[in-house]
Amino acid sequence: MAMTWRASQSRLSATPGQVMLALGIALFLALFLIWPTATVIWVAFTEKGSSTFTLVNFLDFVRTDLFVRSFWNSFYVSAMAVVCASVLALPLAYITSRFTFRGAVLIQTLGFLPLIMPPFVGAVAMQLFFGRNGSINLLLDDWLGFKIAFMDGLNGVIFVQAIHYFPFILINLSAGLRNIDSAMEEAAQNLGASGFRLFRRIVFPLAMPGYVAGASLVFVKVFDDLATPLLLNVKDMLAPQAYLRVTSIGITDPMGYVISVVLIVASVAAIALSALATRGTDYATVQRGGGGLARRELRPWESVLAYAVVTLILLLVLAPHAGLLLLSFATIWSFSPLPDSYTVAHYARIFGESSLYIKNTLVYASLAGLIDVVIGTAIAYLVLRTRLIGRTALDWAASAALAIPGIVLGIGYLRAFYGVQLWDGTPLATLWIVIVLALAIRRLPYALRSCYAALQQISVSLEEAAENLGATKARTVRRIVVPLMTGGILAGFVTSFATAAVELSATLMLVQSNSDAPLSYGLYVFMQSAAGRGPGAALGVIAVLLVAACTILSHIIIERGRAAAESRH
């Protein structure tokens, strides 16, 4: 199979259209990612006082205990978070994709929610629930006389990150499982494989691109995330160190940018490694007739077990959201397992202004998601289906966006676009479309990985067949490739959309007026005062509901598409 793949690749050499596409994407990335970032982080390569090129700052990095310690801490936490996230995601993905399971769509949606943790208020809710004096620990202490340090130190970071980011694995693995041809499974069954052996030897290996896409995202995201470590007051990790240094006023120190460069290099390396891990093997299956894996009925005892596992995992991962909901109705919640009493006043307070925030959020996040899947699909196609020189550079550049701290991108955008004036003198950077572009760039890696995994699973022979029948390349892409990738593209859109909806760090730099502000900005404004906690939580709940509704909608669309495809056969 690998032989035919190599051979067919050389046959699919680049057309002028593909070259144009590649150049267009390169231009987009150069303009909105590389240039703005470079304007900020070039400081890392300059000598103090003279602005000449030097690498001495990187020498300082390896000579400073704090940074070296931070690097290894980040590495350890990211690796462990991938392990824990896999433990949470595998059962959910397996049970909901392989068996006829009532409420599969609901579970897929709920399992997706942890990704949407609104900034600040999510942290407060989490502390009130799992913290040192949170609900669980207060009850444990009361009844059993001990506490569990869920949120202490590096283990706390691993715990919270695993809960927060396991949906990356869930959503990509589920998409991967759905893309496997049932003929493969049937063949294995005919040869005598069944049960766990069938899963281990046939199903999971075929879904590998999905898993790797998710796992690499979790690794890189945890490596680059600063919100969670800061919420837990863990400062000796790389991303918080970079953030603290970049944002300290009055101090002009290159180390923050040096760390940013290290983050970017480490992230690209991780993505490249994951690409390497899946490169030698062909994951594509040809026949799409069956429309994915056959779903098996569960035996009664299996059913009980499955429901127990699913319920347990969902209870754990949704606890922060339960906390958030309680907080939004709470009058006062302080050092007690539950709030003192309940009120709807917080919702009343935000009622007037939230509609504007909601509209802006929907517009920004869906535009960003749209840009992401278009570019993501295009890059995946160029990398996997053409032999253009420098195609992997596109992949890496786009993936590097994951590692660029939002604040660096925000400052970069101001630097790059504030000087550019429109016809009436308004700076380009003050237009809301700039926020959309920043969000799109920041969330592009999510969509890209999903699209990449989806395309990896499609056999190139289908396209060859179409071309042999006289279809042009463009028509083949439109009629064969994109429809077959739908699941992956939608998965990518949903992840980009949902996470863009709660993005804050770049947004905070770029929002120019209240009328342009998205939900996360409104939330930030509320969460700076004691009285704003309730209304902030209420806004957070609205953000979560909004994204959840959109997720359910896209799941329904996927399911409809599947059903329609099946009925055609």
**According to CB under 8 A, which residues from 307 to 336 bind other proteins?**
331-336
Nearer to other proteins, 88 or 246 (CB): 246
Nearer to other proteins, 408 or 498 (CB): 408
Question: At 220, which amino acid appears?
Answer: V
Q: Determine if 562 is a binding residue for other proteins (CB under 8 A).
A: no
The DSSP call for residue 42 is G
Q: What is the C-alpha to C-alpha distance for residues 533 and 106, in angstroms, rounded to an integer?
A: 29
Beta strand segments in 473-545, E:
none
Q: Determine if 421 is a binding residue for other proteins (CB under 8 A).
A: yes
Segment interacting with other proteins (CB under 8 A) among 60-68, 173-181, 195-203, 392-400: 60-68
Q: Determine if 566 is a binding residue for other proteins (CB under 8 A).
A: no
Segment interacting with other proteins (CB under 8 A) among 61-69, 76-84, 267-275, 300-308: 61-69
Nearer to other proteins, 177 or 416 (CB): 416
Nearer to other proteins, 237 or 558 (CB): 237
Through-space distance between the first and last CA atoms of the chain, rounded to whole angstroms? 27
The candidate with the shortest Cα–Cα distance to 371, out of 32, 39, 16, is 32
Residue 285, φ and ψ in degrees, nearest 5? -120, 145
The candidate with the shortest Cα–Cα distance to 357, out of 479, 144, 538, 223, is 538
Q: Determine if 236 is a binding residue for other proteins (CB under 8 A).
A: yes
Which member of 8, 155, 189, 247 binds other proteins (CB under 8 A)? 247
Q: Determine if 72 is a binding residue for other proteins (CB under 8 A).
A: no
Which member of 430, 461, 486, 554 binds other proteins (CB under 8 A)? 430
Q: Determine if 496 is a binding residue for other proteins (CB under 8 A).
A: no
Nearer to other proteins, 426 or 472 (CB): 426
Nearer to other proteins, 446 or 521 (CB): 521
Tell the smallest beta-carbon distance from residue 405 to other proteins (Å): 13
Q: Determine if 10 is a binding residue for other proteins (CB under 8 A).
A: no
309-341 CB burial, b ≥16 within 10 A, e <16: ebeebbeebbbbbebbbbbbbbeebeeeeebee
Nearer to other proteins, 217 or 358 (CB): 358
Q: Determine if 4 is a binding residue for other proteins (CB under 8 A).
A: no
Nearer to other proteins, 460 or 511 (CB): 511
Q: Could you give the C-alpha distances from 256 to 239, 245, 303, 406, in angstroms and in order?
A: 9, 5, 52, 13
Q: What is the C-alpha to C-alpha distance for residues 551 and 495, in angstroms, rounded to an integer?
A: 9
Q: Determine if 53 is a binding residue for other proteins (CB under 8 A).
A: no
Segment interacting with other proteins (CB under 8 A) among 130-138, 193-201, 376-384, 438-446: 130-138
CA dihedral 13, 15, 17, 23 (to 10 degrees): 60
Fill in the per-residue mask, 263 to 292: x = in contact with other proteins (CB under 8 A), - = not in contact. ------------------------------
Count of residues in contact with other proteins, rule CB under 8 A: 72
Q: What is the C-alpha to C-alpha distance for residues 272 and 558, in angstroms, rounded to an integer?
A: 30
Q: Determine if 249 is a binding residue for other proteins (CB under 8 A).
A: yes
Q: What is the C-alpha to C-alpha distance for residues 33 and 547, in angstroms, rounded to an integer?
A: 26
Fill in the per-residue mask, 380 to 419: x = in contact with other proteins (CB under 8 A), - = not in contact. ---------------------------x---x--xx--xx
Segment interacting with other proteins (CB under 8 A) among 91-99, 207-215, 233-241, 387-395: 233-241
Nearer to other proteins, 49 or 145 (CB): 49
The DSSP call for residue 250 is T
Q: Determine if 513 is a binding residue for other proteins (CB under 8 A).
A: yes
Tell the smallest beta-carbon distance from residue 502 to other proteins (Å): 17
Q: Determine if 147 is a binding residue for other proteins (CB under 8 A).
A: no
Which member of 24, 514, 557, 560 binds other proteins (CB under 8 A)? 514
Q: Output the DSSP codes for 307-366.
A: HHHHHHHHHHHHHHHHHHHHHHHBS--SSSSS-S-B-SHHHHHHHHHHHHHHHHHHHHHH
Q: Determine if 133 is a binding residue for other proteins (CB under 8 A).
A: yes
Tell me if 565 sits within 8 A of 291, measured CB to CB.
yes
Tell the smallest beta-carbon distance from residue 543 to other proteins (Å): 17
Tell the smallest beta-carbon distance from residue 267 to other proteins (Å): 22
Half-sphere exposure of 385 (CA within 13 A, CB side): 29
Restricted to residues 515-534, the positions that interact with other proteins (CB under 8 A) are: 515-516, 521, 524-533
Tokens matching residue 245: 């240094």
Q: Determine if 46 is a binding residue for other proteins (CB under 8 A).
A: no
Tell the smallest beta-carbon distance from residue 272 to other proteins (Å): 28
Q: What 3-state class would DSSP assign to 99?
A: strand
Task: Give the burial class of 490: count Cβ atoms within 10 A of its Cβ; 0-12 exposed, 13-18 middle, 19 or more buried.
Answer: buried
Tokens matching residue 535: 């209304």
CA dihedral 557, 177, 312, 491 (to 10 degrees): -40
Contacts of 233 (CB under 8 A, 6+ apart): none
497-534 CB burial, b ≥16 within 10 A, e <16: bbbbbbbbbbbbbbbeeeebbbbbbbbbbbbeeeebbb
Tell the smallest beta-carbon distance from residue 517 to other proteins (Å): 9
Q: Determine if 248 is a binding residue for other proteins (CB under 8 A).
A: yes
